[in-house]
Structure 1
Amino acid sequence: MVEQQAAGHVPVMCARIVELLSVPLQAPGSVYVDCTLGLGGHAEAILSACPEASLIGIDRDQHALLLAGERLAPFGDRVRLYQARYDELPEVLAEAGRPRVQAILADLGLSSMQIDRRDRGFAYSVDAPLDMRMDDTQSLTAADLVNTSSVGELAGMLRRFGEERFADRIARRIVTERADQPFSTSARLVRVIESAIPAAARAGGGHPAKRTFQALRIAVNDELVALTGLLPAAIAALALGGRMAVLAYHSGEDRLVKNALRDATTDRAPRGLPAVPAELRAQLALLTRGAERPGSDEVQDNPRAASARLRAGERIEEVAA
């Protein structure tokens, strides 16, 4: 099973991630944290390139952890896996006994397994239950949101998390249609979304349901709240010389990453001070100029990489006591 899943799993910008993060992972005892382990593609590449490093792998999806564990089994006790949401990073590191680490990766969004498993309900291209939970032990599903949210709540969700310009039309149509019958599967929701979008707008810009499904997924899994918690925790967890990299896939995610790295790479002292106190100095230096994007060859081989934006930074100032 793991061989089949891994065969279809192409880690995004993998060579560049290894290049960025392997520098501090050459030292004996170094630790790499993969906050979004998925099927373990990035982790496998980094552990192979950095034989002195060990892995703390985190994922909220218990099914992904099982498959990643099988894939990473050849690395033996260099691998420790934890089921957690990535904003629980401080608790995971405390349990692992490693409050400071040398490298951190967060590959945001969906894993290949979640997209490809029909029963998970993430894909708009197949008919499936409206689920979209990354952790299927939680109670809230996409069907719950679609069937209970008001027009205003749905429209706000679609605008904020999906940047859907027809959010109001789609929300009103959903509420009208669910009055006859609650939504339970993706195919019916896709048809309703398509009917709410003007024909001219449906002609270009990708699948008409793409932005709505993205918004529902983000809302179901509280992804931007979790990311807001992860970013300062990850920066604080880096040892001196440690590096972090984040792959984002839509502007809402990337904006949070950009702002967090900007703040961490800027001195916080008031103007006019003759010297910047250590506790107010920039904590990080940027390793990427703006957001790096995958090359055309990678996008051709792996279309899911097309929207990826990579940002990275390195700790240059010790954590204040």
Structure 2
Amino acid sequence: MSATGIASGFSVEPIGFADGLDALRHVRDAVFVQEQGVPVEIERDALDPLCRHVIARDAQGQPIGTGRLTPDRRIGRMAVLADWRNRGVGEGLLKALLAQARELHWPEVTLHAQVRAQAFYARQGFLPYGERFVEAGLDHQSMRLLLDAVNPVESREAGLAALLGVLDGARRQALVYTRDLDPGLFDRPEALAALRRFAVGGGEVRILLQDPAAPQRAIAPLLGLAQRLTTAFALRAIEEPVDRDYPSAYVVNDRGGWYFRPLGHRFDGETRLDGDARARQLRAHFEPVWERARPCSEYRALGL
């Protein structure tokens, strides 16, 4: 099994610990020990020989990234050399590890994400659980992914992670059915950054609102973003009683990703980034409501 980042000039493949010791330590020592100040005796643990490892190499065969699966079904030691970050290497490593987990028929995988990397894992479908903690002197957050299954969303932070995953997976369109732009979710900086990135990249965001006055009163930051990117955002107000009585809320993309909340005023619900059948159902629900809804004329003063 191997994967190649053709445009970026790297490849990812499994590697045995004994055979790959020097290459693995080349990357991990540079990232964890030298850059992050993790003591070498903590970085090199007794689990290493028991783990499945993957390595990323550049076009010349030099090691540039690592990751591992531990026997307790946890992803760890994800590291990419500084010059290769933001070029798809981390995603390639993670996908290779998840492919191995599926080959092993694991129902789920967990990881301890450095807090600054939490959004990266959220974009791949991982959801946070539990409290933050300190590991090797760095703030961490436990995260979990159920493989090839619906993932339960049990908190606001998990809801934000689910939203980031759906938005990052969208190709051309994201549909949002919401009561009032969900304060605590769509006003989070991470959510706004993901929406902006998608819109600037040519994506279309359609938003159905049950209560369009509430975000206007609250000066919701998403309205300001939509004002600046008018060709990417369209907002409509729901008026038909049958639609206004709908209790749920959701966001769904055009590649099978969705986050559904049975009660629209709560954050708990379910999500999956590769759930094509459910995504089709949600899109089929959205479209006729969109056709019946009216443009948010009250936003005209905002330029929307």
**What's the TM-score, normalizing by structure 1?**
0.27
Structure with greater proportional strand content: 2
**1 or 2 for the larger relative contact order (CA 8 Å, sep ≥6)?**
1
